[in-house]
């Protein structure tokens, strides 16, 4: 009974009590979390299968079995009372899982933003700069397409050998002192859901592994993996993970640079008026335009209802974790690319 009260109360307090971003940054994100990530990801990398799948499956099986056993043993006259007890027990389990989530990864949502820690200037973020960056993206895509497609695209299992050095260099740029253990890209039993919801990948917040949608196209893989590795490095905010993922791709070879520009270009178009979008897209060569169409076709094969519901659930999840913009925060990557400078 004490646990049924104590654990949910603690979880509720963690959920609502204000926290200092500076304290979270220095104590958790740059102190506790890197040590946890090093140990946990090193262990989860030992398995080819997703520990997240195993955890979720076991959790549901445990709860269903517990409910069934308690209701059956209660007898006909006491099943209502047994159900109330099991509601309390379920709330207790949910509280434990939430605290596990926060301690293993979730507190990264409350860290200081990159705008506070890097050379960010809001006056650099202008419409003219946005147009110039989009034009630069067009130039880069046209120049990089042929050499990027000249060789076979790396498989997921090859990503660490291709992106490890760029990832390490970007960590140094961002001032991370402890090296991040790169997570092995894994498939998941959630692959069907990823396809139907148009989700490219996710980081497992419990066992700190990355799960990738098997339908992601070859030229999308470098950016998608880099984005999820950025989450693994503690950048929970989607805009920051996209920015760090883009930096990783730009620090790598031709193929990774192309993948990064391809993803950034789609974000840039979303911030431009329709007439400007048509004009700049028309400047693309046949190759990049074909790749963008392939991505659009893949995404369009998702189930609209599942995609909308998934987006709504994730939006609420982000807002519950104090990301006030919700899924709209994805678009913030443009502010970071335009507004942050690294010296020369």
Contacts of 285 (CB under 8 A, 6+ apart): 141, 142, 145
Q: What is the pLDDT of residues 201-248, one digit of tens each?
A: 999 999 999 999 999 999 999 999 999 999 999 999 999 999 999 999
* 3-state DSSP assignment of residue 315: helix
Mean pLDDT within 148-176: 88
Other C-beta atoms lying within 10 Å of the C-beta of residue 40: 20
Q: What is the pLDDT of residues 47-68, one digit of tens each?
A: 999 999 999 999 999 999 998 8
20-29, 69-78, 80-89, 299-308 — which is least confidently predicted? 69-78
Q: What pLDDT band is residue 344 in, cutting at 50, 70 and 90?
A: low
Q: What pLDDT band is residue 271 in, cutting at 50, 70 and 90?
A: confident
Judge residue 103's burial from the number of C-beta atoms within 10 Å of its C-beta, 0-12 exposed, 13-18 middle, 19 or more buried: middle
Domain boundaries, the chain: 2-110, 120-341
* Reported pTM: 0.92
The phi-psi region of residue 208 (left if phi > 0; otherwise alpha if psi is between -120 and 50; otherwise beta) is left
Considering just the CA atoms, what is the radius of gyration of the chain in Å? 22
Write down the pLDDT at residue 132.
93
Six-digit token pair at 189? 């039993």
* 3-state DSSP assignment of residue 111: coil
Q: How far apart are CA 207 and CA 177, in angstroms?
A: 22
In the DSSP assignment, the letter for residue 187 is -
Place of tokens 């069934």: 68
Contacts of 26 (CB under 8 A, 6+ apart): none
| Element housing 341 (H / E) | strand 340-341
* Residue among 166, 187, 281, 140 nearest 230 (CA): 166
Contact between 280 and 139 under an 8 Å Cβ cutoff? The reply is: no
* Residue among 274, 283, 246 nearest 262 (CA): 246
Nearest 5°: the CA angle 267, 342, 113 is 60
Write down the pLDDT at residue 343.
66
Q: How far apart are CA 270 and CA 284, in angstroms?
A: 16
The string of DSSP codes covering 232-296 is HTT--SHHHHHHHHHHHHHHS-HHHHHHHHHHHHHHHHTTS-HHHHHHHHTTS-HHHHHHHHHHH
Write down the pLDDT at residue 237.
92
Q: What is the pLDDT of residues 302-315, one digit of tens each?
A: 999 988 898 888 88
């Amino acid at each position: 009974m004490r646990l049924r009260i104590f654990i949910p109360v603690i979880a509720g307090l963690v959920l609502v009590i204000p926290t200092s971003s500076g304290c979270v940054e220095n104590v958790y994100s740059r102190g506790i979390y890197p040590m946890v990530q090093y140990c946990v990801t090193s262990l989860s990398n030992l398995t080819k299968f997703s520990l997240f799948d195993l955890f979720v499956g076991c959790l549901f099986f445990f709860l269903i079995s517990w409910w069934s056993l308690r209701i059956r043993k209660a007898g006909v006259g006491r099943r209502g009372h047994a159900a109330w007890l099991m509601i309390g027990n379920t709330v207790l389990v949910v509280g434990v899982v939430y605290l596990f989530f926060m301690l293993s990864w979730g507190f990264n949502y409350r860290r200081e933003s990159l705008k506070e820690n890097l050379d960010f200037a809001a006056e650099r973020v202008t419409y003219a700069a946005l147009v110039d960056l989009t034009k630069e993206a067009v130039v880069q895509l046209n120049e990089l397409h042929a050499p990027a497609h000249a060789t076979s695209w790396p498989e997921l299992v090859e990503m660490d050998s291709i992106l490890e050095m760029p990832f390490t260099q970007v960590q140094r740029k961002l001032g991370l002192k402890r090296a991040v253990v790169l997570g092995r890209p894994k498939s998941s039993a959630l692959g069907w859901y990823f396809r139907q919801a148009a989700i490219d990948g996710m980081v497992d917040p419990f066992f700190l592994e990355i799960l990738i949608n098997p339908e992601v196209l070859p030229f999308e893989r470098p950016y998608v993996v880099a984005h999820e590795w950025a989450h693994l490095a503690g950048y929970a905010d989607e805009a920051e993970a996209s920015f760090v993922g883009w930096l990783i791709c730009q620090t790598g070879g031709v193929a990774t640079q192309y993948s990064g520009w391809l993803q950034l270009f789609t974000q840039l178009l979303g911030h431009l008026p329709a007439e400007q979008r048509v004009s700049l897209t028309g400047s693309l060569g046949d190759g990049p335009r074909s790749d963008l169409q392939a991505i659009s076709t893949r995404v369009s094969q998702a189930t609209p209802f599942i995609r909308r519901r998934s987006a709504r659930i994730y939006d609420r999840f982000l807002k519950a974790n104090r990301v006030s913009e919700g899924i709209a925060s994805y678009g913030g990557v443009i502010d970071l690319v335009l507004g942050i400078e690294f010296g020369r």
